[in-house]
A and B are shown apart, each in its own frame.
Chain A
Amino acid sequence: MSVPRLPDDDELLAAELAFGLIAGAERQAAQARLAQDSAFAAAHARWQDYAAAMVHDAGEVPSPSVWNAILARLPANDQAPGMVPRATLRWWQAGAAAASAAALVLGVVAAQRPAQVVVQVPAAPTPVAPMVAVLTGKHGLVTISFDPATGRMTSAASGLALGDHAAQLWVIPADGKPRSMGVMHAVGAGWGRVPAGAIPALSAGVTLAVSVEPVGGSPTGLPTGPVILTGKMTATA
């Protein structure tokens, strides 16, 4: 393979930047050049690969508390462009004093669209049997499968038109309090681990719902935007 060769001085500058040998104005100038000079940027990327190859896997796993600490440090309210304005984010809170948020959410859903398709699979509530749900609404369709044995789920979505917003999945058990199952792929298939807080709520017969949230998910931990799809969880065996 022939790679276009840079003059040695440029090649070395790219390496010096990648290995952290230069500082101050020299470093800033080299960084500025990355945006303008694609051959230089390519050489820099190659040197970064070399530097990264000095790192060997120590096989050490960080404590589980690290992930929680990261989540706690994320901005509570993402300032992502195209975010739902705050006023609409809080629509559900108006009635929260009288009714629980979930009851309100479900009430709105029921008023919007009574027609609901649920896959009827003969249910025998074994706790470890995989579960499925089909969530329907005015627009779009989402299917969810959840395997209690592994705590993982898959999702498949079609026909959701969310624009700049995210689709967040919730489980709403008998106590009426929604637990987040995470932000899902609004187009096509996705899979992932169900958050630990939602797993105990997942059983045959519970309601799943998809709400429209700002990019990155609900900033409050509860649904903040309209619920667009709902369905019931069904055990498969």
Chain B
Amino acid sequence: MLAAVLRRTGEGDRAAFEEVYRRTCVKLFGVCLRILPVRQEAEEALQDAYLSVWQRAGAFDAERGSAMTWLITLTRNRAIDRLRAKGKIATAPLDLADTVADPDPDAAALIEASQDEQRLALCLGRLEGGDATLIRTAFFQGSTYAELAARAGAPLGTIKSRIRRALLKLRECLS
């Protein structure tokens, strides 16, 4: 099990670390590519991510969540760190018009997606136009509430309550 190999990595077992890499590098590289589309930068972010895995695997607690989610979260954070460090956090205006559909940029990959992924894509698709874009933008571009508000040209309070409403809807749909 991935959780067991991750735990051994936390104990300093390099063979276990290699096993974690072998099992997860394609998925985690997918996370990096989504955030940093230039392959070279994605590969550098992937290195950062696995170094963090090596350093922090001891803090992973299987009681509190899945190993893959832990790895994805950590990788996302390292890739966003790299974006920020390079001053590359997106500032481009966001188009959130109600009429704009929210195509999942990776929709083609959904055919092979897990059930969880398909369910989430379905629920995101049911949100009002623009809401799913806001949520995806936060996660994949590292935009916080304040940055989303600036990019959408909307007051912070408006964006915040809009996203919070969408998150509660998302929970209803997923539970």
A interface residues, Cβ below 8 angstroms from B: 3, 8, 11-12, 15-16, 18-23, 41-42, 45, 48-63, 65-67, 69-70, 73-74, 78, 80, 166, 182-185, 190, 192-193, 214-217
Contacts and interface: CB of A to CB of B under 8 A. Distances in A.
A55 B27 contact: yes
- Give the most central of B51, B69, B163: most A CB within 10 Å: B69
Interface residues of B, dominant DSSP = helix
A18 B70 CA distance: 11
Contact of A57 (B12, B30, B170): B30
A217 B68 CA distance: 25
B26 A48 contact: no
A152 to B, nearest CB: 11
Contacts of A70: 21, 47, 50-51, 54
B14 A55 contact: no
Nearest to A192: B15
- Give the most central of A55, A63, A69, A80: most B CB within 10 Å: A55
Contacts of B25: 61-62, 66-67
B44 to A, nearest CB: 8
Interface residues of B, number: 65
Given A53-B119, A58-B29, A66-B25, A48 B73 contact: yes
Given A61-B25, A62-B43, A193 B18 contact: yes
A58 B73 contact: no
B19 interface: yes
Nearest to B105: A56
Contacts of B34: 55, 58
